[in-house]
Amino acid sequence: MPEYISENYRQLNADLHKTRPIFGSKSFKWGRHVLAVLGADPGIETILDYGAGKGTLGASLKDKIQDLKLEWREYDPAIPGIDKLPEPADLVVCTDVIEHIEPEYIDNVLKHLRTLAKRKLLLTISFMSSGDILPDGSNAHRIVMNEKAWRNKLIQAGFSFDGAEYSASATEMLVCLRS
């Protein structure tokens, strides 16, 4: 079975989640984009938050998820209780995660995301170093590449683009991909 994260890096992330409450808690800001994808594709019934962190995205959408009778699942290898490899979902949401992947595992993770996303993948990617420092002193963003390099990487992984937006500062992008 392919590996997606080293045990050492998983533990570093778990430690940072425990010692820095804000780490992994900002995904709620992407809720309106999830709702836009749901509005554009009414066939979506299951959603997986891949790299869910503290679960703030799901919490911010709880009422809407219940109203639409959607199944919401979370996965994060560094969070006990949601650390088991997930099942596929119609929509996979992966916000502020992919740049945290160790370079030697990025191809495996992208292939994994492709197999998990039955219809769409909503992905955010930062193009700069993180303000979060792991307990070993290293930067939490393991991969820092520009937009063109990320686009090429996603195309090589077999994704096709369904749209892209950029932050006002052009330091990150939000892409909706078809798998």
User: What CATH number is associated with residue 105?
Assistant: 3.40.50.150
Residue 172 pLDDT class (50, 70, 90 cuts): confident
| Residue 158 domain-assigned (yes or no) | yes
Share of the chain above pLDDT 90, in %: 60
**DSSP conformational letter for 172:** E
In a domain, 2, yes or no: no
pLDDT per position as a tens digit, 22-45 = 666 567 778 888 999 998 899 999
Q: How many domains, the chain?
A: 1
| Token output for 119 | 């219809």
**Residue 124 contacts residue 174 (beta carbons within 8 Å):** yes
User: What residue type is assigned to position 165 of the chain?
Assistant: E
Q: What is the DSSP letter of 105?
A: G
Whether 101 shows a pLDDT value over 80: the answer reads yes
pTM of the model as a whole: 0.90
Element (H, E) at 159: none
34 located within any domain: yes
Segments in 41-140 forming alpha helices (H): 56-60, 62-67, 106-116
Q: Which residues constitute the domain of residue 41? A: 7-178
Comparing 74 with 23, the larger pLDDT belongs to 74
Quick count: other Cβ atoms within 10 Å of Cβ 1? 5
